[in-house]
Amino acid sequence: MEAFNTFARHILLVVTTFLALCATATAQQITVYSAGSVAVGQTRQLTAYVPLSPNTVTWSVNGIAGGDATVGTISGTGKYSAPKTVPMTPTVSVKATSTANADKSGAVTLTITQPPVQLWSISPTSVPLGPYTIRINGANLIASSVVYAGDVALKTTYASATSVSATGTPSAAQAGKQIAITVRNPGLGGTTSSAVQLSVTTETKPPEPTPTPTPTPTPTPVPTSNPPNPGAGLGTANLAAGRMLEQAAFGPTPAELARVNQLGVNAWLDEQFAMPESAIPDPGGMQSGQLQQEYLSRLSTAPDQLRQRVANALGQIIVISMNKNIYPNEMVPYLRILSRHAFNNYRDLLDSITTSSQMGKYLDLANSNKPGPGGGANENYPRELMQLFTIGLSMLNADGTPQLDGAVKTIPTYDQAAVQQVALALTGWTFPGPNNNNWENFSGPMKPVDANHDTRVKNFLGCTLPAGQNTTQDKDATLDCIFKHPNVGPFLSLRLIRSLVTSNPSPAYVQRVATVFNDNGAGVRGDLKATVRAILTDAEARNDAAAVSSGRLKDPIYHVVSFARALNGKISLANGLPWQFSQMAQTPLTPASVFSFYSPLYRIPKSTQVGPEFQIYTPTESVLRGNLFWQMISNPGGDFTLDTSPFTAVASDTVKLIDAVDQALLYGRMSTPMRQTLANIITAQPDATSRVQLALYLTALSGQFAVQH
């Protein structure tokens, strides 16, 4: 009865080591993921969640250690192999028993099925009252397959493993209604397909001509519009360039794809590094919404895509939000700092940010004066400077993994006293203006006011700032101290890799990038250009064969911008998209807090894999994104300019249409089953527009397009 078990499902083993990050007092029980069906001869990887130490388990099937040929076998790592034939009792219990404590175990029930029968389409899809014959296209059909109309078994004639026909007669009561057509493969471990609806029209079949006893009239031949076999497609000649542009740009446009193919990765990077910076318009006279619209448009059109991509990634690390800095002049200079420094030195970026009046407002460093006796200075910026912009909360190894102490706990990078010391060191900054404490003014960077600076000695992170230094000296010394902390390289490398390439990089990849951040080869620390190049040219980034742990879920803005670019299009300068993105938890330039739109540490629910963008990808957001794709495809209006002509040009040729969509959105990686599914549904569409729209839409909705990989 597990019609959904279309293809072999594998679940790789995760013996979860629940780090202190999420650890709460959890009941000590073993949970095995997950119940379901396995077809004969297929395998299924099981997962045991073991909150014990050590977290290893032994596996058994129906009480037989390792299982056997009758009930199926299980490997030491939890990979279950179903038997060759369905056992007399088609359900088996697979149990994981703790090696640490034999009393603790968890089990899961698996149902062994025959190869699952599938129903892809029926023809015709509507019939008049009276006897009818339908043809079923599907898979794993067998000679004993029976077609059902609702609960009524139909006379079924087997043609092939992918085709049967069936005859039936709807009851009068079914006129004007729909009947659910399914196919069942009977017998032990039999399966039922999903349903396709057959409509019964109210008209009656014209009366048959005078009945003649012989010969029996053959059933009226069904018009067959069998979908073509789309084959494997045109290959992946554009895959390398496409992947590069997913990581180094907001996805490929046809022209940019050609450019990377022409120049190669390194020369294309050189070209991008040298490209003039796209201007960010002056805020004067601009409305807040216009800044957001301009930002979206710029991401879709700017020639200096790499700079836009990196500046955007930096903006998710060093955050200012328009929910507090609501006017364009409270944002634009900050955006320019990110853009200008995207390929410069991170230390210089930190300096510009620390003294920026925009950040001075957002995290309250502006007018943080030396405190009176017993008091403290404003800690908001000092805390986030360390926690979010540079070193993080716990000590890291050179490869970005956390250092653990003897008790296997993470080691804090700093304590509250350090925050207070940094806060004192960063006192004395105010908005531009004539006074020692000025009202908000965003016409330039903040100015130092030594009269408001705390000149006492400060100690933090192993550094000592001597007494008597002025505002600027203490700021420089503070940033030097933090910037030299060994965490900065791995911390920032990991965040940038997560933003640009993959959510789950190998520690070795992080370490290779961090090494370049620490020293660009010329003895310079913090060279962002060298760091970005190291990220994008690393073998792990350039490996075009996706590994199980590859990929990064596109965030809403990236997802939509990349779709527009793939259709050789752009977002208009005046667009209504900020509101739409706000519904998807990514109001442009307006993250909810200094922690940005989503946490870089967020894990995919019920998984050990990191997937930051999943924090704002729930069922509702998935539908909202889908609906926006549909708007783009069906009615782009004034929000987008898109070019679907390459697809309409081949609309009448199903295979060519699928090839065009496959190349534009998936760089030739569309799997053969997906191509067949598209071929089936496209063939059933009544006109060219519907064919193009559906091919693009269903592909845009796929996980393959949602994840850069």
Partner 1 sequence: MTNSAQFPSRRDLFRLSAGSAAAAAIHRLGVTSAFAQSVPDYKALVCVFLAGGHDGHNMIVPQSQVSYDAYMKIRKGLVLPDGNTKLHQITTKGGTPYAFNDGLAALGPLWLQDKLAVVANVGMLVQPTTRAQYLAKSVPLPTNLFSHADQVIQMQAGDPNGSGGTGWAGRAADALQAMNAAATFPAAFSMNGAALFCTGKVIQSASLYPGFDLSLNGMSGWPASAAAAKAQALQDIIKLDSGVSVIQAANKVRQDALALNQMLRNAGKTASLVTKFPGTNLGQQLQQAAQIISLRASTGISRQIFFCSLGGFDTHSNQSWTYWDLLKQVSEAMFAFYSATAEMGVADKVTTFTESDFGRSLEPSGTGSDHGWGNHHLVMGGAVKGGDLYGTFPFPALGGPDDSGNRGVLIPTTAIDQYGATLAKWFGVDAASMSSVFPRIGNFTTADMGFMG
Residue among 75 and 125 whose Cβ is closer to partner 1: 125
Residue 81, strand partner residues: 43, 73
Q: 277-287: string of b/e by CB count within 10 Å (b at 16+)? A: ebebeebeebe
Are 126 and 118 spatial neighbours (Cβ–Cβ below 8 Å)? no
Minimum CB separation of residue 672 from partner 1 in Å reads 10
Distance of alpha carbon 564 from alpha carbon 482, whole angstroms: 41
Structure-block tokens of residue 416: 């509250």
Minimum CB separation of residue 507 from partner 1 in Å reads 6
Distance of alpha carbon 613 from alpha carbon 610, whole angstroms: 9
With a CB cutoff of 8 Å and minimum separation 6, the contacts of 199 are 125, 126, 127, 177, 178
With a CB cutoff of 8 Å and minimum separation 6, the contacts of 454 are 370, 371, 377, 424, 425, 427, 428
Distance of alpha carbon 615 from alpha carbon 555, whole angstroms: 10
Are 56 and 15 spatial neighbours (Cβ–Cβ below 8 Å)? yes
- Closest residue by Cα to residue 95 from 40, 167, 179, 30: 30
Residue among 644 and 693 whose Cβ is closer to partner 1: 693
Please report, for residues 283, 439, 590, the alpha-carbon distance to residue 357 in angstroms, rounded to integers and kept in the order given: 15, 11, 18
Residue among 196 and 350 whose Cβ is closer to partner 1: 196
Minimum CB separation of residue 70 from partner 1 in Å reads 24
Minimum CB separation of residue 341 from partner 1 in Å reads 23
- Closest residue by Cα to residue 694 from 624, 633, 622: 633
Residue among 302 and 513 whose Cβ is closer to partner 1: 513
* SS3 (DSSP) at 573: coil
Angle at 410 between CA 406 and CA 415, to 5 degrees: 115
- Closest residue by Cα to residue 118 from 522, 677, 687, 707: 677
Residue among 306 and 385 whose Cβ is closer to partner 1: 385
Minimum CB separation of residue 262 from partner 1 in Å reads 29
- What are the DSSP calls for 687-704, one per residue? SHHHHHHHHHHHHHTSHH
Distance of alpha carbon 124 from alpha carbon 316, whole angstroms: 53
Minimum CB separation of residue 268 from partner 1 in Å reads 25
Minimum CB separation of residue 677 from partner 1 in Å reads 5
Angle, in degrees to the nearest 10, between helices 239-248 and 305-317: 50
Residue among 99 and 121 whose Cβ is closer to partner 1: 121
Residue among 361 and 453 whose Cβ is closer to partner 1: 361
Structure-block tokens of residue 137: 């296209």
Distance of alpha carbon 559 from alpha carbon 553, whole angstroms: 9
Residue among 296 and 553 whose Cβ is closer to partner 1: 553
Minimum CB separation of residue 282 from partner 1 in Å reads 25
Distance of alpha carbon 499 from alpha carbon 416, whole angstroms: 29
Residue 177 Cα to chain centre, angstroms: 41
Residue among 306 and 674 whose Cβ is closer to partner 1: 674
* SS3 (DSSP) at 95: strand
Structure-block tokens of residue 596: 């940005």
Residue 664, strand partner residues: none
Residue among 64 and 398 whose Cβ is closer to partner 1: 398
Show the DSSP H helices in 426-524 as ranges.
471-484, 488-500, 507-518
Minimum CB separation of residue 85 from partner 1 in Å reads 23
Residue among 144 and 403 whose Cβ is closer to partner 1: 403
- Closest residue by Cα to residue 591 from 251, 292, 281: 292
Residue 439 CB burial class (10 angstroms; 0-12, 13-18, ≥19)? exposed
Residue among 276 and 619 whose Cβ is closer to partner 1: 619
Residue among 547 and 573 whose Cβ is closer to partner 1: 547
Minimum CB separation of residue 487 from partner 1 in Å reads 9
Angle at 395 between CA 394 and CA 401, to 5 degrees: 95
Q: What is the chain's length?
A: 709
Residue among 428 and 611 whose Cβ is closer to partner 1: 611
Residue among 14 and 74 whose Cβ is closer to partner 1: 14
Minimum CB separation of residue 260 from partner 1 in Å reads 23
Distance of alpha carbon 642 from alpha carbon 48, whole angstroms: 47
Minimum CB separation of residue 269 from partner 1 in Å reads 25
For strands 429-430 and 196-204, give the pairing.
Answer: unpaired
CA-derived radius of gyration, the chain:
31
Residue 274 Cα to chain centre, angstroms: 30
Residue among 23 and 69 whose Cβ is closer to partner 1: 23
Minimum CB separation of residue 406 from partner 1 in Å reads 15
Residue among 5 and 312 whose Cβ is closer to partner 1: 5
Are 18 and 60 spatial neighbours (Cβ–Cβ below 8 Å)? no
- Closest residue by Cα to residue 632 from 709, 576, 554: 576
Minimum CB separation of residue 198 from partner 1 in Å reads 6
Minimum CB separation of residue 600 from partner 1 in Å reads 8
Minimum CB separation of residue 598 from partner 1 in Å reads 9
Are 708 and 246 spatial neighbours (Cβ–Cβ below 8 Å)? yes
Minimum CB separation of residue 618 from partner 1 in Å reads 4
